[in-house]
Chains A and B, each alone.
Chain A
């Protein structure tokens, strides 16, 4: 075991993938000499060379489009999109090419491309640096979408993403990059928990609280605070956003009868809606109350002086737990 920051854990995972598979190639803006604006790729170009760790021109569609060609040739590209809000120029290549190539060719051409996306807010940045665009991609068939919440998963799941023969969007919570955690660098991929599986990170019996990425820590803190009031909250770290591990969520809701979902992304058409609908379909009779969503608002990501209002925090999450439990909450007495 070693103690690593989130960013170093991803770096260690990338290093291991570069060592174990000569077809792995890293591509992105400023990832080489600089080591990335968050230093996630620090030192990798020096150790693996400019052919394996490629500083690309500033063209996101170009990064993903050339990665498609490299994948055609048998390479396993790992692309860094510098910030969440910079991914849209590449949207066409991701949605029309990366996601559909396997289906288009009925499996003759695989797209083992990993797209790393630092995402989410809370770092006081200007516009376009704090977004949560995951639902655009979970809505796109052909992509796998995962989000990591702790250094150990960051280390393991980046390797699982790279090893996957399908394209994976790997969402990294940038405000957690400096959080430290224990990482077992000897852990074998073969025996690790599948990246498609959710994980129950706090067991509880009164309500199920589903989170992913940056809000897993907030959700766990909320569960601790709830415990002080005698409320037992089960926290699930979703890990995989497409596909979602519904059996794990369903098993929890069958036990607790209450469901709260939290994410930084805007509410309407978001993952919370999909989880609420799917769990309602799967185990309606076990629900004691309507599912509750605690999310970012349906607004463009606000300027940084306002972001604390936009981002779900511990208190807003607890307010949602109270609502799910029928306890007094900020919307008590309000119909619908």
Chain B
């Protein structure tokens, strides 16, 4: 699943060169290749970055987006049924997550926030691993080193610095991998994101800052986070940026490829603002009806990322019964596996609470573990002994 042919096919030989002297940002225009009605429109600079995307690959992008929307729905249901403690929905952000992560190479490293379950799916996380954190069975799901995807980051914006540091390590190693940092519009207010841009620019680190502007940080609208368009802010740090239609999977793929290519060639960091919309609540514990105008939701429903790709496929005669059946079957199978993996997950043992705080035994923790273990043992057989 990891980095299919869409990613591997990306070469840059015939594509426009971008450099810090030739900033990508121009006049605040939104990069769009598929309109909300599903029409493919041409773009003088970005068409070339997706011209290798075959009909089959377009279908495969559609499949991934449909599947992660299905995971999202299943997870929300599991939370309502008491099987997950919490879930942060990604509904509406499928194009941003699939378009960007499908552009990555296997050796690239990703530092996500907590909402990038779609990215985790593309990177090759097992479905139960995606559920694990939200069921409360661990603070991690997948092995970060195995699929080159850090664990979900809950401290807002923190991971932007980790991504930059990892990218500095890639530079030291002389490798051409790239790091992708995902965060939201709210995170751009955090000092860490600004510091990450300072470090990334000063060291010209191979990192891509991928900001999903989903318009809401829990109840706070994006206008509270930034007085200018988010894509305008990186330029002050000397980082070129792009503002892309985050509900247009092709545009996201193209923009991400441009940024990755720059970084791979030693061109340094790039910032992408993917303009999208959080169709659901912040998490399953949230109630957006308290702060959001329902008309806004309707407006964005008309720009739905899956509907527009579906319309494009249809217009090209690619939305065959065969494709629909295949995608449906895949989504059903994934949902079933996600549910089973979640429900069948074994609970951790009580004394696991003490494990892995340090890499070697720690005298303080060993003592507390010993005492707690004696405490737990004190209950065994107490029924037979009766009250003392």
Interface residues of A, Cβ cutoff 8 Å to B: 25, 51, 56-57, 59, 61-62, 64-75, 89, 92-93, 96-97, 100, 102-110, 141-142, 144, 165-166, 196, 242-246
Contacts and interface: CB of A to CB of B under 8 A. Distances in A.
Given A59-B198, A65-B158, A103-B139, A70 B166 contact: yes
Contact of B358 (A51, A67, A142): A142
Contacts of A89: 191
Contacts of A51: 172
B155 interface: yes
A241 B356 CA distance: 20
A66 B161 CA distance: 5
A108 B191 contact: no
Contacts of B111: 69
A102 B151 contact: no
B162 A72 contact: yes
A107 B356 contact: yes
A65 B143 contact: no
18 contacts: A59-B195, A62-B161, A62-B198, A66-B164, A66-B199, A69-B161, A69-B166, A69-B167, A69-B179, A70-B169, A72-B144, A72-B162, A73-B173, A75-B172, A93-B158, A104-B140, A166-B359, A243-B364
Nearest to B181: A69
A67 B363 contact: no
Contacts of B144: 72, 105, 108-109
Contacts of A106: 138, 140, 355-356
Interface in B129-166: 138-140, 143-145, 150-151, 155, 158, 160-166
A67 B165 contact: yes
Interface residues of B, number: 43
Contacts of A66: 161-162, 164-165, 168, 196, 199
Nearest to B364: A243
B357 interface: yes
Listed residue (A62, A74, A246) with the most chain B CB atoms within 10 angstroms of its CB: A62
Given A65-B161, A69-B166, A72-B165, A103 B198 contact: no
Interface string B196-210: 101100100000000
B356 A69 contact: no
A250 B155 CA distance: 40
Given A68-B161, A70-B169, A93-B161, 9 more contacts: A57-B202, A66-B196, A72-B166, A73-B166, A102-B359, A103-B356, A104-B140, A165-B360, A242-B364
A103 B161 contact: no
Contacts of A107: 356, 359
A-B pairs with lowest CB-CB distance, top 3: A69-B165, A65-B161, A73-B169
A79 to B, nearest CB: 11
B363 A243 contact: yes
A67 B169 CA distance: 9
Nearest to A71: B165
A262 to B, nearest CB: 22
Contacts of A25: 172
Contacts of B169: 69-70, 72-75
Nearest to A67: B165
B337 interface: no
A183 B169 CA distance: 34
Nearest to B160: A65
Contacts of B140: 104-106, 108
Contact of A62 (B139, B172, B196, B358): B196
Contacts of A104: 139-140, 151
B360 to A, nearest CB: 7
Contacts of A61: 161, 191-192, 195
B195 A57 contact: yes
Given A70-B169, A72-B162, A109-B144, A65 B363 contact: no
Contacts of B199: 56-57, 59, 62, 66
A70 B168 contact: yes
B359 A165 contact: yes
Contacts of A109: 144-145, 150-151
Contacts of A96: 155, 158
Contacts of B29: none
A97 B359 contact: no
Contacts of A74: 169
A65 B165 contact: yes
A139 to B, nearest CB: 12
Nearest to A196: B363
Interface in B199-251: 199, 202
Contact of A68 (B145, B162, B172, B191): B162
B289 interface: no
A180 to B, nearest CB: 33
B196 A65 contact: yes
B258 interface: no
A101 B169 CA distance: 18
B170 interface: yes
B362 interface: yes
A69 B145 CA distance: 12
A92 B162 CA distance: 13
A244 B365 CA distance: 11
B295 to A, nearest CB: 38
Contact of B143 (A73, A97, A108, A141): A108
